[in-house]
Amino acid sequence: MVRVLMTGFEPFDGASANPSWEAARLVAEEPPPGTEVSPLLLPCVFGDCLRVLYDAVERTAPDLVLCTGQAAGRSGLTVERIAVNVDDARLPDNAGRQPVDRPVVPGGPAAYFATLPVKACTAAARAAGVPCSVSQTAGTFVCNHLFYGLMHLLSTRYPDVRGGFVHVPSLPEQVLDGAGPAMPAETAARGLRAVLTAAATVREDIRLAAGAVH
């Protein structure tokens, strides 16, 4: 049995829900075969999210950590490849914090790669009928802060634990005016279950053209 710690964020910027948590909660209620999923709701706050995550990693001793966050404007799940060591917030987080041009971890590496098979995870979600692609950037807001902090923790303290990050599109009720793409939480959860299955079973990633031109 693969022990999974799966996180989602609380609602942000006045929203009533966050699709990352709605999907993560559904996955935990019905995890993929061979996995045991512990869900964790994180504050959308620089620093605080990492403290809550680190405590949970120590408490639950997972084999795999999959963090998720909302990416408004994206039309499918996006499996993040790289976390960068910079906080550059265009707007404040839920605690009013707005770091600009600061490292996530002072003195840490410029970037970390996810240790999940990102292309196999992408292909698995697509095979489950859920739009999914590889993303080369998780931004510079709280999602990237969490992703980088996770990978730094695993690299320095838990090298045998694999980790990564997936962005989830907005919920349909968040874009009622049709101004952007959306995905029901149930669909996102189906894709995330496929991602978890691939992450738990694939050791060597597949070759799949999934780069970006810009």
Which of these CATH numbers, 3.40.630.20, 1.10.10.410, 3.30.420.40, 3.40.640.10, describes 2-201? 3.40.630.20
Domain locations in the chain?
Answer: 2-201
- Per-residue pLDDT of 182-208, as tens digits, reads 999 999 999 999 999 999 999 999 999
Yes or no: say if 72 and 179 are a contact pair by the CB < 8 Å rule.
no
Q: What pTM does this model have?
A: 0.97
- Alpha helix segments (H runs only) across 82-181: 118-127, 142-157
Q: Which residues pair with 36 in a beta bridge?
A: 3
43: burial class by Cβ within 10 Å (0-12, 13-18, 19+)? middle
Mean pLDDT of 91-111: 98
Q: What pLDDT, on the 0 to 100 scale, is given for residue 15? A: 87
Active site residues: 80, 143, 167
Confidence at residue 180, expressed as pLDDT on a 0 to 100 scale: 83
